[in-house]
Chain A
């Protein structure tokens, strides 16, 4: 992997960190607000089904996490396990794809399913 690509990945991780910081705050504040009067599955689905703003927000959240986490795990693998190279890139790409798939499935489950 070229130094230019590594620099771009670093940038992607930093930008996704900024997005995640905002998303996590909105996510937690929403939860605190939503559970004030107790919480049931029906209540949650009542708020999320067909709510495009909810879906857009969590799609952004999922994509940011899918960008941010694998790049961070690559650093840990390189520095603590001395694990580098093509295989690591493949494994972490699969991990990123799994995050996107499971995350978007969850969003779809709450929005449309």
Chain B
């Protein structure tokens, strides 16, 4: 009996910003994910390949890469869905400095979350009763819509505005800010609106909606950003941001 093993042509970015694509042949398997392919290359062909992953089940947000030109979470992306003529091109995420191979430096990405005042700040202590937040309230629903972000950076890497304006906070940080603006327990709303207003904040968004199209969790940061635009512009007109 002759085994008919299909092969996948995989082209992977190697090196830093001035690196290049290197080709590898990887056996094609059923239900193979893109992360499986990268893991095969590192374990069986070149142990020097650098990439990030952790949970492998779409929870941790660490395995995002550019797959055939589009940013995706690789652990939940099947090869059958994205390969073109049995070929894959894997590059690090765009809009972030490359450390090596498929690993990018995500410091700026997370610093921007802090810059958008992405930390919750309440006023109750553990000695007080829980806050009662009505699940059916409009604010709670708006917060729910954006709360499942796993911080993978797919939206940030896909955003043209980030490319054009590197100081722009980006979709993930603004989405986080929007969930907190809608958190009735939070007490630093005014400061947060000040942090996300203006040309490096929500008002830079051109509503291209690429972030919403590519978010693997189905979140629509564009929606949250337009909410922030509305709220901050009104606050600015009332003089609340001065």
Contact = CB atoms under 8 A, between A and B. Distances in A.
Contacts of A3: 194, 197-201, 236, 241
B240 to A, nearest CB: 8
Interface stretch (A5-13, A30-38, A96-104): A5-13
A40 interface: no
A90 to B, nearest CB: 17
A2 B242 contact: yes
Given A8-B236, A11-B236, A79 B194 contact: no
Contacts of A14: 233
A6 B164 contact: no
A4 B236 contact: yes
Nearest to A74: B199
B194 A10 contact: no
B43 interface: no
Contacts of A7: 197-198, 203, 232-233, 235-236, 241
A7 to B, nearest CB: 4
A4 B241 contact: yes
A84 B35 CA distance: 42
Given A2-B241, A3-B236, A7-B232, 17 more contacts: A1-B199, A2-B242, A3-B197, A3-B198, A3-B199, A3-B201, A3-B241, A4-B197, A4-B198, A5-B236, A6-B203, A7-B203, A7-B241, A11-B234, A11-B236, A11-B237, A80-B164
Interface of B: 161, 164-165, 194, 197-201, 203-204, 229, 232-237, 239, 241-242
The 8 closest A-B pairs by CB, nearest first: A3-B198, A6-B198, A7-B236, A4-B241, A79-B164, A11-B233, A10-B203, A3-B197
